[in-house]
Amino acid sequence: MPRKIRVMFGIVTALGACLVMYQVSLMILHHRKLYFSDDHIPVILWWTPFGNNNRVKTCGNAKCYFTHNRTFENDVRLKSILFYGSNLHIHDLPNWRSSAISWGLLHEESPRNNPILVHEEALNLFNYSSTFSRLSNVPLMLLDLPGLEELVATSYYISTKEKSALIHVENLAPILYIQSDCDTVSDRDSYVSELMKHIRIDSYGACMNNAQLDNRLKNNYLDILSDREFLLFVAKYKFTIAFENAICDDYITEKLWRPLIVGSVPIYYGSPSFKDWLPNNKSAISILDFTSPIELANFLYNLLKNNSAYEEYLSHKLNERENRITNSKLLSALERRQTGIPNDFGNYMEEFECFICKRIQKNRKLQESIVTKRQYNCSLPRDPITGEINKHNWWTEQWSIEKCGAKLLSHYITNNISINIKHFDEQKMSMYDNNEC
Ligand SMILES: *[C@@H]1O[C@H](CO)[C@@H](O)[C@H](O)[C@H]1NC(C)=O
Ligand SMILES: *[C@@H]1O[C@H](CO)[C@@H](O)[C@H](O)[C@H]1NC(C)=O
Ligand SMILES: *[C@@H]1O[C@H](CO)[C@@H](O)[C@H](O)[C@H]1NC(C)=O
Ligand SMILES: *[C@@H]1O[C@H](CO)[C@@H](O)[C@H](O)[C@H]1NC(C)=O
Ligand SMILES: *[C@@H]1O[C@H](CO)[C@@H](O)[C@H](O)[C@H]1NC(C)=O
Ligand SMILES: *[C@@H]1O[C@H](CO)[C@@H](O)[C@H](O)[C@H]1NC(C)=O
């Protein structure tokens, strides 16, 4: 055979062998799945498919079998049921509740994705949680912060002098806004639109659009939010508006971290206690520190005129390297991570699974634990300017309706009544109409 053909033949044979090995390993896996019959390994069921499936996992001294297979709902080895918050639906819940089987809630999203879960009665149905709150069992409040190094690095950083020049040369506004979800629980756009009357803001997203991204960024900006090119673009601005879509304790997203990473000063609205996690006590501007958008605008004008006052917000870029982060709370939270494990959602999910598994193993006589609002504390939709509860916000009504939903759900679950969704919704609306929640 000519050499070329021999090589090709070799490759094809090797591929064939791999394929056979792959099939065999699949058969073995399949086998293990069907014959899972180890009597003393607790079963943990992901009710909403997420996490590990049909797998025995070792967590320290504990071992648990994780599955998405709902036939295990009636298995005596079932010890816990886990739910992924955004995919939890009232019309699709386990048929009954046993106090011997704990329920766990993994929910990193804001209430936008499932408004019933902000209410105490709904949260009380769960025993353990992994949410953005620092008080949950596996806290996710720093999920969107890649790491310490990113905060102190200056790879995107543009000096104050250059930023000032860009305002003239490229006719940039001092403030960047880029958001395409315009109808939010936090009603952030009503604040931005008021602020805009007093100071120039370049708004590139769909909300209050007044500026265009260039073509390279335009078509897919939502996909490239952490790409170098996009970060370099954000870095040109002295300030970036970082308003969350809902106001919850510790609900902090990439909206805050991105400007901090590139060295644009965030103007923040979101978690009321967000300063607890800033690199330094003056790394971002909170709109709550100002009585009105005008007052904030005047404050920003002063920073635009005074470089040293502006740069007080950038000590995480400008200080000596070892002094760039002084917040010990942030440092110790991040230290926990320094184990070479990448900071991604999948790893937190694995940690939550192991938390549950260890709990089962440790507490044969289970000590009772119940999730409360402390682990998912969001404020009613308020007007961001006046702080008043906003009766005209569509979300306010949803909130109140879902309060009835939560009350009703708790009644159904604790009394072991199976849910007919049509009937449930009718009852919920009638409770709402009669002001019973
Ligand atoms: C679910 O588990 C049962 C055994 O408990 C098994 O018979 C069935 O095939 C499994 N279903 C799936 C989709 O894996
Ligand atoms: C709940 O009801 C189901 C039947 O719908 C029953 O099998 C189960 O034992 C009940 N559980 C409790 C805790 O009462
Ligand atoms: C902020 O940090 C500076 C220097 O580290 C310190 O002197 C000051 O007291 C701090 N202010 C607050 C409000 O913590
Ligand atoms: C500029 O800001 C610095 C630091 O806050 C302050 O000490 C100084 O007085 C300010 N300069 C002017 C001209 O306002
Ligand atoms: C889980 O919560 C329920 C109430 O929702 C409670 O009855 C049960 O005892 C709790 N179980 C554990 C293990 O804490
Ligand atoms: C929820 O947040 C509000 C406002 O920040 C606070 O007043 C309240 O005490 C918090 N509730 C709980 C249960 O943590």
**418 DSSP assignment:** P
- 395-413 pLDDT, tens per residue? 999 999 999 999 999 999 9
**The pLDDT of residue 135:** 97
Ligand 2 atom closest to 418 (CA): 5
- Mean pLDDT along residues 117-133: 97
- Cβ 82 vs Cβ 50: under 8 Å: yes
Predicted confidence (pLDDT) at residue 3 exceeds the cutoff of 90: no
The DSSP bridge pattern shows strands 102-107 and 128-131 to be parallel
Q: What is the SS3 assignment for 131?
A: strand
Predicted confidence (pLDDT) at residue 14 exceeds the cutoff of 60: no
- Mean pLDDT along residues 205-212: 94
Predicted confidence (pLDDT) at residue 284 exceeds the cutoff of 90: yes
Q: Which ligand is nearest to the CA of 45?
A: 1
Cα(415) to ligand 2 centroid in Å equals 9
On average, the pLDDT of the chain sits at 90
- Mean pLDDT along residues 183-203: 97
Q: Going along 167-325, which residue ranges are E strands?
A: 175-177, 201-203, 239-243, 265-269, 285-286
Please state, in angstroms and rounded to a whole number, the distance separating the CA atoms of residues 46 and 353. Answer: 10
**The pLDDT of residue 361:** 85
CB of residue 77 inside a 6 A radius of ligand 6: no
**The pLDDT of residue 362:** 78
Q: At what angle do helices 254-262 and 228-235 cross, to 10 degrees?
A: 70
- 148-182 pLDDT, tens per residue? 999 999 999 999 999 999 999 999 999 999 999 99
CB of residue 102 inside a 6 A radius of ligand 5: yes
CB of residue 96 inside a 6 A radius of ligand 2: yes
Cα(75) to ligand 2 centroid in Å equals 14
Q: Which ligand is nearest to the CA of 303?
A: 4
Helix (H) or strand (E) holding 244: none
Q: Which ligand is nearest to the CA of 302?
A: 4
- Mean pLDDT along residues 53-80: 96
How does DSSP assign 315-366, residue by residue?
HHHHS-GGGS---HHHHHHHHTTTTT----HHHHHHHHHHHHHHHHHH-SSP
Q: What is the SS3 assignment for 306?
A: coil
Q: Of 418, 422, 405, 370, nearest to 117 (Cα)? A: 405
- Mean pLDDT along residues 216-232: 79
DSSP bridge partners of 64 = 57
Strand order in the sheet with 62-67: 55-59, 62-67, 43-46, 78-84, 102-107, 128-131
Q: What is the SS3 assignment for 211?
A: coil
Q: Which ligand is nearest to the CA of 306?
A: 4
How does residue 385 score in pLDDT terms, banded at 50, 70 and 90?
very high
Residue nearest to atom 5 of ligand 1 (CA): 71
**The pLDDT of residue 217:** 74
Q: Which ligand is nearest to the CA of 99?
A: 5
Please state, in angstroms and rounded to a whole number, the distance separating the CA atoms of residues 146 and 344. Answer: 8
**The pLDDT of residue 19:** 46
Strand order in the sheet with 265-269: 201-203, 175-177, 239-243, 265-269, 285-286
**The pLDDT of residue 368:** 86
Q: Which of 34, 38, 68, 74 to mutate to test the pocket of ligand 1 (most atoms within 8 A of CB)?
A: 34
**The pLDDT of residue 316:** 98
- Mean pLDDT along residues 21-27: 49
CA distances from 121 to 100, 367, 435 (A): 19, 20, 17
CB of residue 328 inside a 6 A radius of ligand 3: no
Predicted confidence (pLDDT) at residue 417 exceeds the cutoff of 90: yes
Predicted confidence (pLDDT) at residue 4 exceeds the cutoff of 50: no
Lowest mean pLDDT among 10-24, 61-75, 304-318: 10-24
Tell me, yes or no, if the pTM score tops 0.85. Answer: yes
- Mean pLDDT along residues 101-122: 95
**The pLDDT of residue 364:** 60
Cα(34) to ligand 1 centroid in Å equals 6
**419 DSSP assignment:** P
Lowest mean pLDDT among 20-24, 267-271, 392-396: 20-24
Cα(235) to ligand 4 centroid in Å equals 24
How does residue 21 score in pLDDT terms, banded at 50, 70 and 90?
low
CB of residue 281 inside a 6 A radius of ligand 3: yes
- Residue type for position 165: A
Please state, in angstroms and rounded to a whole number, the distance separating the CA atoms of residues 191 and 309. Answer: 24
- Residue type for position 130: S
**The pLDDT of residue 36:** 62
Ligand 6 atom closest to 272 (CA): 5
Cα(299) to ligand 4 centroid in Å equals 13
Token code pair at residue 38: 């180890």
Q: Of 164, 96, 133, 110, nearest to 306 (Cα)? A: 164
CB of residue 73 inside a 6 A radius of ligand 1: no
Residue nearest to atom 4 of ligand 2 (CA): 96
DSSP bridge partners of 131 = 107
Please, how many CA atoms are within 13 Å of residue 13, restricted to the half-sphere of its CB?
Answer: 6
Predicted confidence (pLDDT) at residue 366 exceeds the cutoff of 80: no
CB of residue 302 inside a 6 A radius of ligand 4: no
% the chain with pLDDT above 90: 79
Q: What are the CB-based long-range contacts (under 8 Å, 24+) for 223-229? A: 225/254, 225/258, 226/254, 226/258, 228/156
- Cβ 326 vs Cβ 293: under 8 Å: no
CA distances from 4 to 13, 14, 15, 17, 131 (A): 14, 15, 17, 20, 57
Token code pair at residue 331: 């440092």
Please state, in angstroms and rounded to a whole number, the distance separating the CA atoms of residues 250 and 242. Answer: 14
**The pLDDT of residue 341:** 66
**The pLDDT of residue 344:** 85
The number of beta carbons lying within 10 Å of the beta carbon of residue 79 is 22
Please state, in angstroms and rounded to a whole number, the distance separating the CA atoms of residues 437 and 424. Answer: 15
Predicted confidence (pLDDT) at residue 66 exceeds the cutoff of 60: yes
Cα(69) to ligand 1 centroid in Å equals 6
Please state, in angstroms and rounded to a whole number, the distance separating the CA atoms of residues 154 and 175. Answer: 20
**The pLDDT of residue 200:** 98
- Mean pLDDT along residues 24-30: 48
Lowest mean pLDDT among 293-302, 304-313, 360-369, 425-434: 360-369
Ligand 5 atom closest to 363 (CA): 13
Cα(96) to ligand 2 centroid in Å equals 6
Q: Which of 29, 41, 71, 77 to mutate to test the pocket of ligand 1 (most atoms within 8 A of CB)?
A: 71
Q: Which ligand is nearest to the CA of 374?
A: 6
Residue nearest to atom 5 of ligand 3 (CA): 326
Ligand 1 atom closest to 33 (CA): 14
Cα(287) to ligand 3 centroid in Å equals 19
DSSP bridge partners of 63 = 58
